[in-house]
Chain A
Amino acid sequence: MRAAAFALITALLAGAATAQPLPFDLGGPFTLIDQDGEIRTEVDPDGQMQLLFFGYANCQEICSAALPLMGAVSDVLADDGIAVRPVMITVDPDRDTVETMGPALHAIHPDFVGLTGTEEALEAAYAEFGIEVELLFTDPAGGGVYSHGGLMFLLDGDGAVQTILPPVLPEAQVVEIIRGYATPTG
């Protein structure tokens, strides 16, 4: 029954993408460092669409839902020749370093890109996407637990925001929404 309902929803959403404006002015330039120590901006080096989330690699809260969803969506779309790169900008640069981010994110998906940077560079990125980072409390077992916004952003290859996506949506629905913005590459 649930599968049938999702299929119906998927059918109703087909072709629903739009270029109409978002409610807010979101996105903009950033210059950060990826898990390989390379400089990376909002522009994807291969011109791929990007699914961006602000979080931290070992987050047990919303990231534990959003990051695997991003990887799964990337896989489904790749099978259809639509390349979407999952990207996370850290809100906890003390734990998410160039050395530690890669393994944690690649355990979720091999193509995951993790970005960190100087405090100034990260603050600039947060400001562009309306992200407010706040330390909520410190878990004795896991370290700091942060408030950091809960939406995913779909960017085009140039880094322009196409739309926002709540990570509570079913995987199939996220796939269909992104598909509406995509130009097949495969």
Chain B
Amino acid sequence: MRYLTALFACLVALPAWATEGERVQIRGEIIDTWCYFSGVMGSPESVTGTAHHTCALWCSAGGIPVGLLAEDGTVYMVLRIEGDDGSASGDTQLRLAAHEIVADGILYQRDGLNYLVVEEVVEDLGITNQSHLDFGVVPPFAIPDPSGN
């Protein structure tokens, strides 16, 4: 149910559409939006934080747009972060995977979605969500077996 609540919060933006962006400052975790919304790897709680860090790196490198999961459960689709001119794969997106940050930027609401252009990462608290304590590595195969098995 929390998954649906979070999804709902992400998808339903304000009814009035902004022609101009709105400057915002949002605290939240940089997440892998594919695994978070698809549910293919597990519950939302298990695909954030340390448990999902490695998979989040793979997904971002593969082109999955990153999101910012705010403290109130809203997910913002990140279009750009600071110097990295893209929604995924960049050095900044990879460096910040699963990190809790305070982002200062411009919010655009379009088609009922929240899009965020992060102009500055005001604060980077690192990976604070120690979800591996509850879930281990999600999914387990995210970390290659050095034996090749």
A, B from the same assembly: yes
A residues apposed to B, CB below 8 Å: 1-2, 5, 8-9, 12-13, 16-18, 20-24, 55, 60-63, 65, 130, 132, 134, 136, 145, 147-151, 163-170, 173, 177, 180
The residue on B at minimum CB distance from A131 is: B86
Give 9 nearest A-B pairs by CB, closest first.
A61-B62, A62-B63, A147-B89, A150-B63, A168-B33, A150-B65, A5-B4, A177-B111, A150-B88
- B127 located at the interface, meaning its Cβ lies under 8 Å from any Cβ of chain A in the complex: no
**Contact A62 B64, beta carbon cutoff 8 Å:** yes
**B111 contacts which of A17, A61, A151 (Cβ < 8 Å)?**
A17
Bound-complex Cα distance A147 to B58 (A): 11
- Which residues from chain A contact B17 at a C-beta distance below 8 Å? 16, 18, 20
**Contact A23 B64, beta carbon cutoff 8 Å:** no
Evaluate whether A168 and B34 lie within 8 angstroms (CB atoms) in the complex, with A8-B8, A61-B62, A145-B62 already known. Answer: yes
Bound-complex Cα distance A20 to B18 (A): 8
Bound-complex Cα distance A2 to B12 (A): 16
The residue on B at minimum CB distance from A54 is: B63
Evaluate whether A23 and B117 lie within 8 angstroms (CB atoms) in the complex, with A13-B111, A18-B111 already known. Answer: yes
Bound-complex Cα distance A137 to B21 (A): 36
**Contact A166 B61, beta carbon cutoff 8 Å:** no
**Contact B89 A168, beta carbon cutoff 8 Å:** no
Q: How many inter-chain contacts with C-beta < 8 Å in the A-B complex? A: 111
**Contact B12 A12, beta carbon cutoff 8 Å:** yes
Evaluate whether A9 and B12 lie within 8 angstroms (CB atoms) in the complex, with A18-B111, A166-B77 already known. Answer: yes
Evaluate whether A23 and B115 lie within 8 angstroms (CB atoms) in the complex, with A5-B4, A163-B110 already known. Answer: yes
Bound-complex Cα distance A122 to B149 (A): 40
23 CB contacts below 8 A, A to B, read: A5-B4, A9-B12, A12-B112, A13-B112, A21-B19, A23-B79, A23-B106, A23-B117, A61-B62, A62-B63, A130-B86, A145-B61, A147-B61, A147-B62, A148-B89, A149-B63, A150-B63, A150-B89, A151-B87, A167-B65, A168-B34, A169-B113, A173-B11
Evaluate whether A132 and B63 lie within 8 angstroms (CB atoms) in the complex, with A17-B111, A23-B117, A168-B37 already known. Answer: no
**Contact A132 B34, beta carbon cutoff 8 Å:** no
The residue on B at minimum CB distance from A149 is: B86
**Contact A168 B62, beta carbon cutoff 8 Å:** no
CB distance from B36 to the nearest CB of A (A): 8
Chain B interface residue count: which class?
35 or more
> Besides the contacts A21-B19, A23-B110, A170-B37, what 14 more A-B pairs have beta carbons closer than 8 Å?
A1-B1, A9-B8, A13-B11, A16-B111, A62-B62, A62-B64, A62-B88, A63-B63, A65-B34, A148-B89, A151-B87, A165-B111, A168-B64, A180-B111
The residue on B at minimum CB distance from A60 is: B62
CB distance from B79 to the nearest CB of A (A): 7
- B7 located at the interface, meaning its Cβ lies under 8 Å from any Cβ of chain A in the complex: yes
Bound-complex Cα distance A61 to B114 (A): 24
- Which residues from chain A contact B12 at a C-beta distance below 8 Å? 9, 12
**A148 contacts which of B63, B65, B111, B113 (Cβ < 8 Å)?**
B63
**Contact B63 A18, beta carbon cutoff 8 Å:** no
**Contact A16 B112, beta carbon cutoff 8 Å:** yes
- Which residues from chain B contact A134 at a C-beta distance below 8 Å? 89
